[in-house]
Chain A
Amino acid sequence: MNPWPIVRAFLVRHRWAALAFVFLVAAGVSLAVALISQERALRTGSARAADRFDLIVAAPGSQTDVLLTAVFLRPGTTKLLPPEVTARLLNDKRAVFVAPIGFGDSHRGAPIVGTTSQLVIHLSNELQEGRVFARREEAVVGAASPMKVGETFRPTHGIPRDGNPEEDTDPHEHGSMITVVGRMKPTGSPWDSAIMLPVEHVWQLHSLPDGHEEGSEAVGPPFDPTRTPGVPAAVVRPTTIAAAYQLRNAYTTNESMAFFPAEALTRLYSVMGDLRQLMSLLAIVTQALVLMAIVMGVLLLFRFLVPQLITLRALGAPRLFIAAIAWGFTATLVLAGVVLGLVAGYGLSYGVSQWLAADTGVELTPTLASSEYLIAVSILATGWILALLPAYVVQRRSLAMSLAES
């Protein structure tokens, strides 16, 4: 038997109602799919962005705040590490390098980060273009920066919040002219749009000791312990795994905290995961209600199709054929809705990723994975099972009574 031509004809007859049903299913599926896909994109994107930050040492406080400030370059109000702790850390032999991070300035909305060339090379895994800074008036830009190598600029005091320099409390250019001498490779992190300067320049701009002898123009380590200011955070590259744990213990004190970014992210993921589970559950419940509504809608629609169905029975169609028409009609709507929902869900996730990437600088790559397909298949299976209801109701009508009624 082949009920499809009849199903197709009925779909054409009730095309507007059918389209409405398809969009209802698609809306539910796309929300569920986008939610899961986006959560994964956020997780993988943030993990990738933080991947090269082995250990972070900062003043005691919220690890999440420090993570957002040091790794994701979000303006924050982190306290400074005491100068003596900073000095001790910068000269700790258990680290391959310790890179202080200094903030406070920007240029055309891009944050300026004062650090060492070691961190720039480490994050970029060699440069895409040019060289690292060797003088205090030189800078390296991130891969996504619109600035070109050789371009000069003067830093603006203050970090724009939400990229809007108008919101700075005291925006004004200061310091000497800086020349861009290199460009980093893409890191998929907010560092791609940042400008990296020698930390000494940032300290100097803010009238702090610059980590070297008075009058020295040196950049990078070794730093003079007597002339080292406090820093918001320092990125530590330990020599070994054991050294990493030793350093974490050594700098987890009343004066400082040390943590692996992965740990802080895992805690964030745990919260996000709980939220995702809750949202997924809500999405599934909503979807089940939508499917039930659609099944009821199909039952109502089939009241209009009774004359045709009864005619088919009178022409000799078995009950199974009638049931197959009703099931096929509903199942087609659910299938179309699920497929459209998958596509729309990916599109939605892609759109949100683009928006978030533009806002945060974290490269987010949405994908459709087994969990999204599982949700889609579950909704499809539920819909196809629920489609048995109109099939059952329609086929059990008495042929003689229906003929008499119609």
Chain B
Amino acid sequence: MSPHDAEVGLSVFQLEVSFCDATGDRFNALSGVTAQFKPGQITAIVGPSGSGKTTLLHCIAGILVPRSGEIRHGGVIVSSLGESARDTWRRHNCGMVFQDFRLIDELTVLENVTTPALFGHYRVPSILRERARTLTRDFGLLERSVPTSRLSRGERQRVAIARALLMDPAIILADEPTASLDRANAASVAKTLEGLAGQGKAVVCVTHDDLLVSRAHEVISLKAGRMGPPAVDPFVGLRAGDLA
């Protein structure tokens, strides 16, 4: 039995990812990365630019398939799924939040939030529509029928988080979610992510933001694709003994 089978949550094991650079030479983006992302916790992935943070996030989301190693979630080996199955798995299990929100500006708040429902349905099911209304209300987005282009940056990031939560995913993957926000909005987003962790979701953030790192239960530090020593708390991920 692999050590990460013991956990119901999300884990990555000995991930190896390599890319070709502009000259055609292959380089390792991730080497031997092993980690657990427990439900109810915020895990911050930190490191300098080019250290493999976003690559790790994409591997967790099933966007990238590692050259070797495994990504598991609740007994499903995500890394061995086909592309279509990974899309479906991601749609139901991962909520993605981006630095630049990536909303469709011409759609209203409610339409943006319900976008993921259109991938599998012709009409947004009433249960999801109701959930979208609840999320927008909870996030203080009362003007649901206006195009998102009219919202402030903080509001737009809240729309993006609401969209990520529509399918009630167990995992929230956020790539620099506070990087393009002012301090007040960044604090608000950090609090929101903390609240999501409090609801039992595994929140994984790639960040450079000290505020967000300070709220993380666990910090994974990457350098040149390798995990470094723990930066904040005592290491709560996999211990060497667990890998034996």
- CB of B64 within 8 Å of the partner chain: yes
A300-355 at interface with B (beta carbon < 8 Å): 307-308, 311-319, 321
Cβ-defined contact, B118 with A1, below 8 A: yes
Q: Which residues of B contact A318 (CB under 8 A)?
A: 84, 87-88, 119
B61 near A314 (CB under 8 angstroms)? yes
With A2-B121, A9-B107 already in contact, the answer to whether A314 and B63 are too (CB < 8 A) is yes
Give the distance in Å from the alpha carbon of A276 to the alpha carbon of B92 in the complex.
58
Pick the contact of A315 from B58, B84, B111, B115 — CB < 8 Å?
Answer: B115
B91:A6 contact, CB within 8 angstroms:
no
Contact of A311 among B88, B90, B102 (CB under 8 A): B102
List residues of chain B with CB within 8 A of the CB of A314.
61, 63, 90, 96, 98
CB <8 Å contact, A316 and B116: yes
Q: Is B143 an interface residue (CB 8 A)?
A: no
Within A264-285, which residues are at the interface with B (CB < 8 Å)?
none
Task: Establish whether residues A316 and B94, one from each chain, have CB atoms under 8 Å apart when the complex forms.
Answer: yes
Residues of chain B from 30 to 65 with CB closer than 8 A to chain A in the complex: 54, 58, 61, 63-64
> How big is the B interface, by class?
20 to 34
Complex Cα spacing A93 to B69, Å: 108
Residues of chain A in range 1-39 having any CB-CB distance to chain B below 8 Å: 1-3, 5-6, 8-10, 12-13
User: Inside 8 A of B88's CB, which chain A residues have their CB?
Assistant: 316, 318
Contacts of B122 in A (CB 8 A): 1-2
User: Are B120 and A1 neighbours in the complex by a CB distance under 8 Å?
Assistant: yes
CB contacts (< 8 Å) of B111 on chain A: these are 5
CA distance A317 to B102 in the complex (A): 14
Interchain CA distance A236-B111 in the complex, whole Å: 76
Q: Assign chain A's interface to a size class.
A: 20 to 34
User: Residue of A at shortest CB range from B167?
Assistant: A316
Which one, B58, B84, B106, B119, contacts A9 given CB within 8 A? B106
Pick from B58, B61, B102, B107: contact of A5, CB under 8 Å: B107
Asked if A68 is an interface residue, CB under 8 A from chain B, the answer is: no
Out of B118, B123, B164, which one reaches A3, CB within 8 Å? B118
**Is there an interface contact between A12 and B64, defined as CB atoms closer than 8 Å?**
no
**Residue of chain B at shortest CB distance from A317:** B119
1/0 per residue A380-406: CB within 8 Å of B?
000000000000000000011001100
Q: Which residue of A lies closest to B111 (CB)?
A: A5
- A381 vs B53: C-alpha distance in the bound complex, in angstroms? 47
Residue of B nearest to A8 (CB): B106
Bits for B110-137, please: 1 = Cβ < 8 Å to A, else 0: 0100011011111100000000000000
Smallest CB gap from B160: residue in A: A311
Residues of B within 8 A of A13 (CB): 105-106
| A-contacting residues, B80-101, CB 8 Å | 83-84, 87-88, 90-92, 94, 96, 98
Complex formed: what's the CA distance from A166 to B56 in Å?
A: 89
- Determine the distance from Cα of A315 to Cα of B96 in the docked complex, in whole angstroms: 6
Contact B58 A312, beta carbon cutoff 8 Å: no
The answer on a CB contact under 8 Å between B118 and A400 is no
Using Cβ atoms and an 8 Å threshold, which residues of chain B touch A403? Answer: 54, 58, 63
Q: Which chain B residue shows the least CB distance to A314? A: B96
- Please give the distance in Å from A301's CB to the nearest CB on chain B: 14
CB distance from B190 to the nearest CB of A (A): 22
CA distance A6 to B61 in the complex (A): 23
Query: Given A315-B116, A316-B116, does the pair A12, B121 have CB atoms closer than 8 Å?
Result: no
CA distance A317 to B115 in the complex (A): 9
Other-chain residue from B83, B104, B121, B163 in contact with A308 (beta carbon distance below 8 A) = B104
A1 / chain B contacts, CB cutoff of 8 Å: 118-122
**B87 CB contacts on chain A under 8 angstroms:** 313, 316-319
Residues 151 to 180 of chain B near chain A (Cβ within 8 Å): 163-164, 167
- Residue numbers in B under 8 Å from A307 (CB-CB): 102
Instruction: Tell me the bound Cα distance from A326 to B88 in angstroms.
Output: 21
Nearest neighbor of A9 in chain B, beta-carbon distance = B106
**Residue in contact with B63 in the complex, picked from A8, A12, A400, CB distance below 8 Å:** A400
* Residues of chain B contacted by A12 (CB below 8 angstroms): 106
Given A12-B106, A315-B163, residue A6 in contact with residue B118 (CB < 8 A)? yes
Q: Is the CB of B63 within 8 A of A399?
A: yes
Q: Please measure, in the bound complex, the distance between the C-alpha atom of A276 and the C-alpha atom of B177, giving whole angstroms.
A: 63
For the complex formed, measure the closest distance between the CB of A8 and the CB atoms of chain B, giving whole angstroms: 8
Residues of A close to B61: CB separation below 8 A: 314
The answer to whether A400 and B115 touch across the interface, beta carbons within 8 angstroms, is no
Bound Cα distance A399, B164 (Å): 18
Nearest Cβ in chain B — how far from A151, in angstroms? 66
**A392 → chain B closest CB, angstroms:** 16
Q: Judge whether A5 and B118 touch: CB under 8 Å.
A: yes
Q: How far, in angstroms, from A2 to B114 measured CA to CA in the complex?
A: 12
Determine the chain A residues whose CB is within 8 A of the CB of B54 once the complex forms: 403-404
Question: Closest Cβ of chain A: how far from B47's Cβ, in Å?
Answer: 16
Q: What's the least CB distance linking B19 to chain A, in Å?
A: 9
Distance to closest chain A CB from B162 (angstroms): 12
List 5 tightest A-B contacts by C-beta distance, closest first: A316-B91, A9-B106, A311-B102, A2-B122, A316-B90
* A-B pairs with beta carbons under 8 Å apart, 9 shown: A2-B118, A9-B106, A10-B106, A13-B106, A314-B90, A315-B164, A318-B88, A319-B83, A399-B63
Interface residues of B (CB under 8 A from A): 54, 58, 61, 63-64, 83-84, 87-88, 90-92, 94, 96, 98, 102, 104-107, 111, 115-116, 118-123, 163-164, 167
Given A9-B104, A312-B119, A315-B115, 6 extra CB contacts under 8 A: A8-B106, A13-B106, A311-B98, A314-B96, A317-B91, A400-B63
